[in-house]
Structure 1
Amino acid sequence: MTDFLLIRHGETAWNRELRFQGQLDVPLNDLGLEQAQRLKARITQALVEWHAQGRAPTQIISSDLLRAQQTAQPVADVLGHRCILNAGLREQGYGMFEGLRSPDIQAQNPAAWQRWLDFDADVAVEGAETTRAFHARVMATLQALATQFPGEHLVVVTHGGVLDMVWRQARALSLSGPRECDIPNAGMNQVTWHDGTLYIQAWADATHLADLPEQPVYSQKRLLQARDN
């Protein structure tokens, strides 16, 4: 059994603009940097209790994309661990959509946008990673970490799409269809990997961010409803 504290990276300017980031290397904005410091403070407060319970983090692992690294480093500093970078934790590759907002895509390539809104796990736009291939990458990465660090407590800093795959896997949901769970920037999600199965212990904990500006929400369900209306 391996415990994972899964954290989404802090906010970027492109999150604020609801642009597709994918695997482009976008840094945190000022709010995202503040969110990373809030994470550091939250984990600092929790460490005493975690040590008493025998579940203090033993490793911190991050996607190698800059926004994840910038979120992970303050946490690594307080934990006293070197941050391990892992490309398997990268966001889904969105190909031709990367760097664009939905209105841009609708104007420039409406046919591709309509294919995207089908949310078919086996269909991808030009240059993109299918959701099924992405899911396989994420699960293989988590399994490898669980095998490498059995019985340990891992902090993993990653991306919204990765967390969506974790949610779907743990809830036995289809890989097709729009996202159904909340995934706030710099939110904390506790899951356990046991005998090849993921169990969610806590999800979307963002109490450490309560007094910060409201986060932008990229809602796939809302996009789908707008198309159908």
Structure 2
Amino acid sequence: MTELLLIRHGETDWNRRQTFQGQIDVPLNARGLAQARRLGERLAGEALDLLVSSDLIRARQTAEPLASTQGLAPQLAPALREQAFGILEGLSFDDIRQRHPEEFSLWARHEPDYALPGGAESRRDFHARVLAALRELAAAHRGRRLAVVTHGGVLDMVWREALNKPLHGARECAIPNAGLNRLRMDAQGGLQILSWGDDAHLQGLED
């Protein structure tokens, strides 16, 4: 059994503006950096064997305080990047409705096999990428405790897999920025959620 502590990156300005980030390299804003510091403080007393981060800067910046308190150098994992959204990346919902109404309408159906133009991944391909990466990590570090800093879409795929939810449909789970999600993965790659969306360490943080 491998313990997984999965963490969404801290807040960015694009999160606030509800702009599709996808795989564009957007840094944390001031609140996101404060969230990352709180995260490092929250986990300072926990023993971790490995720290893994998506290679995108918003995840790496979130991992930095945790790396400092744990004395661990983050292992970068491009396979744990956010989903690629193609032509929607860098656009707000209002922009998308104006510029790409047909594509947005198709995307909003949340069909697992639909991939937007411009190099996007289908949800099914994204799910396969995420689960393969996590299972490879868990197999290589069986019986240990791993912290993984990643993205909201990645965590949605994990939540669906753990609870045997379909890939079709809108997100149903809460995934707060810099929130903690604790899971176990067995030797067969099965996932069990221990706790989800824990952001108690962020209470009282100024907006």
Same fold per TM (> 0.5)?
yes
**Counterpart in the other structure of 2:17:** 17
Give the 4+ runs in structure 1 shifted more than 3 A.
none
| Separation (CA, whole Å) in 1 of partners of 2:200 and 2:85 | 30
How far apart in 1 are the matches of 2:161 and 2:184?
12
Alignment of 1:180 onto 2:201: no
Aligned to 1:198: 191
Match of 2:203 among 200, 210, 216: 210
Aligned letter for 2:178? A
- Match of residue 120 from structure 2: 128
Q: Partner residue of 2:5?
A: 5
Residue 169 in structure 1 maps to residue 185 in structure 2: no
Give the Cα separation in 2 of the matches to 1:164 and 1:130: 14
Cα distance change on mapping 1:141 and 1:29 into 2, 3 Å: same
Highest Rg: 1 or 2?
1
The normalised TM-score by structure 1 is 0.88
Matched, 1:158 2:124: no
Name the structure 2 match of 1:67. 58
Deviation of residue 212 (structure 1)? 2.2
Percentage of identical aligned residues: 51
The one-character-per-residue Cα deviations of 1:97-153 (angstroms, maximum 9, x if unpaired) are 000011100011110110011000100110210000000000000010011111010
Correspondence for 1:109: 100
Structure 2: where are the runs of 5+ without partners? none
Secondary structure at the aligned position of 2:3 is classed as: strand
Q: CA RMSD in A?
A: 0.8
* Distance in 1 (alpha carbons) for counterparts of 2:91 and 2:61: 23
- The one-letter code of the counterpart of 2:18 is L
The structural deviation recorded for 1:12 is 0.4
User: How many angstroms does 1:196 deviate by?
Assistant: 1.5
Q: Report the Cα distance in structure 2 between the residues aligned to 1:113 and 1:83, rounded to whole angstroms.
A: 36
Which letter does structure 2 place at the counterpart of 1:24?
I
Whole-angstrom distance in 1 between the partners of 2:82 and 2:206: 24
